[in-house]
Each structure stands twice: as C-alpha cells, then as structure tokens.
Amino acid sequence: MTEFTAKASVLIEALPYIQRFAGKTMVIKYGGSAMGGPFEQVILDIIWLKQAGIRPVVVHGGGKEITGLLNRLQIESQFVDGLRVTDAETMNVAEMVLGGSINKRIAATFYKNGVAAVGLTGVDGGLLKVRQKREELGLVGEVVSVNSSFLTQLLDAGVVPIIAPIGVDENGVRYNVNADSAAGAIAGALHAEKLVLLTDVPGILRNTPNGKQVLNQITPEGIQLLIEEGQITGGMVPKVEACLQALAAGAKHVHILNGEEPHALLLEVFTDQGIGTMVIGEETA
C-alpha cells in the first residue's frame, strides 16, 4: 500500500462510522487529569465529530487545577470516595476554576478553530438541578435533573455546549458536582449515543500477576467485584458510577479512554480499533 492509499483507506474506514453517527449526540467528558496532555488536539477531535454531523456536548473537570489553586491559598483538599469535601471557601475556588478559567480556555480554543461553542455552568438555565449529596461532604451536589430541552436548543442551533460541573438547588444555592457524575447525568438525560470519559489512564486497570492490565470491557458485576477488591479507588469510583448511571438512564455506549493519548477520541469513534474500556450495561451484558 502506498502512503496515499493508506491515507485514503483511513478515510474509507471512517465512512460507515460517519454514516452511523451523523445526527447523534455524544457527551465528551474532558477530565482535569487529561488536560496536561495535548489540549488543542482534544478540542480538534471534538470539532471533527461536529463537522462529521455529530452533536457533541462537552463536560469538563478540573480537579487538579482546583487542588493547585487551593494549595496556593493554603487550603487543604480532602476527598471522600473520590469527591472533594466542599466548604464555602472551597466552593468559591471550584466555581472560579471550573466556570472561569477552564471553561473559557476550552471555549476560546473552539473559537480559535472557527466553531461556535458556548461555555456554561450547570447553574445557567438551571441546566443541572442538584441536591446536597451527603451532609459530611458539604456543598457537594448530586444531580436531580438535567434541563435537556435547553441543551437540545443549543445543539439544534449548531452550538457546542461546554459545561462546567456546578449545579444549583431550588433555593438557588450552588454546589460542586463531580464532573463524571455531571457528564453521566447529561448523557443519560439526552439518551446519548456515546458517553466518552477522557482521563489520564488507558481505561479501567486491573492488577494481574503480569502487572496492570486494561480491561477492554466490563460489566456492572465486574465493576462491583473490582470495587470490593479495592482495585477501583479514588477518582475512578465516581467515573464507574457515572458510567452505570448513564447506561441505566438511556445512554447507549460508554467508554473510558486516555485523553493524553493523541487522538484517542477520533480512534474510538471513527475506526475499528477498540481502545480503552467499554462499560456494558445490564441489558447488553
């Protein structure tokens, strides 16, 4: 095969995927851990999805950056089951980082590349209605409902929504929401074709006698077993919970990929190559 035919065959390989996914909604969660990787390449991949007729919704995290700013302010971070214990001061910092610098950095990168994208937090338009998750976590919200018609209006207008995971309760109190949980709830509410979680590991890993191994697929039972064995910990806990929640609520396919790997998203969506971990729901298991 010549270099030119090899290039053409990549495009041909993508064709059935473009045909299958045109008009479908995909929720891409861009984790703070992955943001140390090729930032603009990730946004270009999402732009590619959009130009191929897919309706991408971006939900982003930023846990690392929040911890960085809290450190500089000499405020200690404390996590319970992968969730940040959030007092009023921490909430201010989380909102500043998530709704401010990260959200606008992503929006600016879309703008630079000629794509209409709107950065929002879950407070805007009552996008993420939440309630307090557990008292000991403070201002940590769990999503009660998603204003999906507001999102659909944006998507119908050809806009890419970029959502920071801050939610609001019925009294107007703002809460810090884990970004995976926000993405899972949004993917479920939109009955998304795919939820893709971009993180800093190549998928769900399991310790084996031969070292760490990526699981290509995992069922809810497999996840439960790994949690009980203490093999799924920290930030991976809300991630797998979000995957299961999204599938139960109507998302069709859920994947965990390494967002630091160049073009992992494009490879997952447009090629035959299976990368990362696919989480399989009750029905497909």
Ligand X SMILES: CC(=O)N[C@@H](CCC(=O)OP(=O)(O)O)C(=O)O
Positions marked catalytic: 29, 32, 63, 180, 239
196 contact, one of ligand ADP, ligand X, none, CB 5-8 Å limit per kind: none
Q: Scan residues 141-170 and list those touching ligand X (CB under 6 A).
A: 165
CA proximity to 268, closest of 248, 280, 253: 253
Point out which residues bind ligand ADP (CB under 6 A): 31-34, 61, 63, 180, 199-201, 204-205, 231-236
When computed from its CA atoms, the radius of gyration of the chain, rounded to whole angstroms, is 18
State phi, psi for 41 to the nearest 5 degrees.
-60, -35
Q: Scan residues 217-236 and list those touching ligand X (CB under 6 A).
A: 235
Whole-number Cα distances in Å, 22 to 12, 99, 131: 16, 30, 35
For ligand X (CB under 6 A), the number of binding residues is: 18
**Alpha carbons 215 and 213: distance in angstroms, whole number:** 6
Residue selected from 21, 25, 28, 32 as contacting ligand X according to rule CB under 6 A: 32
Give whichever of 161 and 270 is closer to ligand X, judged by the CB atom: 161
Residue selected from 63, 99, 138, 259 as contacting ligand X according to rule CB under 6 A: 63
Q: What does the buried/exposed string (b/e) look like for 166-180 if buried means 16 or more CB atoms within 10 Å of the residue's CB? A: bbbeeeeebbbbbbb
204 contact, one of ligand ADP, ligand X, none, CB 5-8 Å limit per kind: ligand ADP
**Alpha carbons 131 and 133: distance in angstroms, whole number:** 6
236 contact, one of ligand ADP, ligand X, none, CB 5-8 Å limit per kind: ligand ADP
Q: Write out the binding residues for substrate.
A: 62-63, 84, 176
